[in-house]
Amino acid sequence: MAIMFQERAIDRHFASFICKQSADCSSELFRLLVSLLSSAVGEGNICLDLADCAGQTVFLDGKEIVLPDLDALQKLLSGIATVGLPHQHRPLVLDRSGRFYLYRYWHYQQELARRLLQKASAAVGGIDEAFFQEGLARLFPKGDCDAIDRRKEAAYVALHKQFCVISGGPGTGKTSTVVRILALLLEQADGIRHKIAMATPTGKAAARLKSSVSDIRQTLDCSDEIKLAIPDDVVTLQRLLGTVSGSSCFRHSERNPLPFDTVIVDEASMIALPLMSALVAALKPTARLILLGDRNQLASVEAGAVLGDICSAEEEGSRASPFFGSLVNLEKNYRFQAGTGIAEISRAVNAGLDGEALALLKCKTLNGIAWQDLPSREELPGSLAKKTVEGYRCYLEAESASEALERFDRFRILCALRDGPYGVSGLNSSVERILGREGLITLESRGYRGRPILVTVNDYTMRLFNGDTGILFPDPESRGALRAFFPAPNGGVRSIMPERLPLHETAFAMTIHKSQGSEFDRVLMLLPSIDSDILTRELIYTGITRAKESVEIWVSENVFRRAVRKKTVRHSGLREALISISPS
C-alpha cells in the first residue's frame, strides 16, 4: 500500500525545526517521520501509528521512499534525543505500542484518561433511593418500555456516577432525558443549592439547547420551584471556561476550578482533545460531568475522536473497570418513526450497508428522502436554480433580522468539499448568481442585505466562534445601516458592525463538518463527482441527520456506495489509556 504524501509547508518547517534540536540526528527518515506526524495531527489524528505506515512506500516530491519495518522505525526513534518514552518530557513521545506523538497531545490524552477514570470511580453518596425511585416513575411515566427503560437507565447512571455519557441520534430524547435528570438532581438537593452549568461547542448549538430546555421544563411533573431552578442558560465551552485575551489558556483550570456541581455538555462529538482535556481539568473533584452526543457523527474538526474513543472504551473494557456502566445509548427515535425515510437511511448508512442505503435513497415510496444523480458542471446552475429560489426566498423576504435568522434554518445546502464546483466556494457563487438574477439579493458588494455569513475563526473579544452563523441585515436602530446579526445567548439577537467581524465566508452552502450542531427543516446535500478520502459513512450520516423533515442527496451511485462502506479512522491511544490506566 502506498502513501501519497502531500507535505504542507507547516509540516516541512516543523520537521526541520525538530531536526535542528536533535544535534545527534541527520536522518532524512527521521525528518520524514516528523513531517508525517505533523500531517497526521493536521488531519485530526492524535498520533502517527507506526504500525500503520511501517513497510509502506511514501511518494513525496516525485520520490519513492520505502519505510522500514516497525522494529526498525522504533529503534531509529528511540535513539534520538528529542524523542522520549512517556513521562520523559521530550518534544516527541514514542509509546510502547508504536504510537508517535507530539508531547502536548500525548499529555492531553493521558491527563484526560486519568481524570475521567477518577470521575468514573468516585463514590456518589447522599441519594435518597426511595425518593429517587418515586421521582423516576413520575418523570419517566410508563409508555414504550424499551425507550423508557433506556432513559431511566441514563437517569440512574447520571445520579449515581460522577461521569455519564448519553449517546443517541437526533430525535432520541437526549435533551428531554437530561432535563428530567436535572429535576431529579434538584429534588435530591432538597433546598440545598446545586449549581448547574450547560454548555455546547458552538453558539448555534447553545441557542438551540436553551430553547429546548425552556420548552421541556414547563412540561415536567414536578413542583414549580424545581422547574424554576432548572437553568436554561447555555453557553459555549469557551465562555464557560473563560477565555483569556491573547492566550490559549482559560481562566478556569485545575487551580481555579469551575464552581458548578453538575456540568452538562451537548454535541460532545464536536469537542477536540485539547478542549475536552481543559474542560475535565477545570471540574472540581466532586462535580458531575454529563456528556450528550451522537457517537456516529463526524468527529471534531480538530484533533481527536474523543466521544467515540470514550464510548469504545466503555464497551470494550472489563466489567471490573470503573468506566463500565458510564455509557447509555438511546435508541428509540421520537422524531423519525421506524420506517420513515430519514430513520431508515440513517440506520443503513451507520451499518455500512451501501446497497441497502442506495436502494432506500432511490426508493420513491419513502417520505423525507430523495436522490438525484449528480448534475454535470454545465448542468449544475440550472439544476440548482429552482431548489435555491424555493429554499431561500422565504428568509430573504423577512422584515426583521430575527425573522430572517429563524427562516434561514428552514433550508440549507450542504457539501463535502471546500473547493471546486461541488464545494463551498463554487456552490456559494452559483447560488449568489441565481438569487441575484431573481432580484432577491443585490450583488453590488460583498456586503449585501441578506448575505448569510459563517465565522471561520474564534474571536474571543467579539464572542464569535468558528461555526457561528449570522446574516447581514438593515438595523433600524442604526438608520438602516447593514449590521451582522447573530443569535444571542439569551434567545434574542445581537448585532455587530461588519467591519468588526472576524474572518468569515458566505454560507448559502456550507460543509457538512461546519453544519454539526445545527439542524435544518430541509437539506440539499451535494457530494463530489469522484471519490475522496473525506467521503465516509460518518460524513453522510451527519449530513442526513441535519435534516428535521427531508433530505435530498445529489450524488453518483458509485461515489455514494464507496463512501458508505468507508469508516473514519482516527489514530489515538485514548481508548487504550481509558482501559489500562488505574485511577489515582
Q: pLDDT averaged over consecutive 10-residue blocks of the chain (584 residues)?
A: 77 86 76 91 92 85 84 89 86 92 94 92 84 88 64 90 90 88 88 86 81 86 86 87 80 92 93 94 94 88 87 77 84 69 89 90 84 90 92 93 93 92 92 93 84 87 84 88 84 87 94 88 92 88 92 92 91 88 61
Is the CB of residue 268 less than 8 Å from the CB of residue 292? Answer: yes
* Residue where one domain finishes, among candidates 278, 302, 335: 335
Q: What pLDDT does 313 receive?
A: 84
Q: Is residue 571 one of the residues assigned to a domain?
A: no
Is 448 part of a structural domain of the chain? yes
Type of residue found at 173: G
Set of cell numbers at residue 174: 437526549
CA distance linking residue 584 with residue 576, whole number of Å: 17
Mark residue 75 as left, alpha or beta (left: phi above 0; alpha: psi -120 to 50; beta: remaining).
alpha
- Eight-state DSSP code of residue 272: -
**pLDDT at site 257:** 94
Give whole-number Cα distances, 298 to 171, 256, 563, in Å.
17, 32, 13
Asked if residue 361 and residue 285 are part of one domain, the reply reads no
Asked whether 560 and 369 are in contact (CB, 8 A), the reply is no
Dist CA 416 CA 193 (whole Å): 46
Radius of gyration of the chain (CA): 25
Handedness of CA 261, 267, 269, 270 (dihedral sign): negative
pLDDT score of 451: 95
Q: What is the pLDDT of residue 404?
A: 94
Is 552 within 8 Å of 524 (Cβ atoms)? Answer: yes
Pick the last residue of a domain from 292, 316, 335: 335
Residues 13 and 157 in one domain: no
- Does 579 fall in a domain? no
Quote the CA–CA distance of 531 and 535 in Å, as a whole number.
7
Task: Record the pTM.
Answer: 0.86
| 480 falls within a domain | yes
Sign of CA dihedral 17, 18, 20, 25: negative
- The Cα–Cα gap between 135 and 115 comes to 30
| Domain around 308 | 128-335
Domain end (from 284, 302, 335): 335
What is the number of residues in the chain? 584
Do residue 7 and residue 82 come from a single domain? yes
The bridge status of strand 48-49 relative to strand 469-475 is unpaired
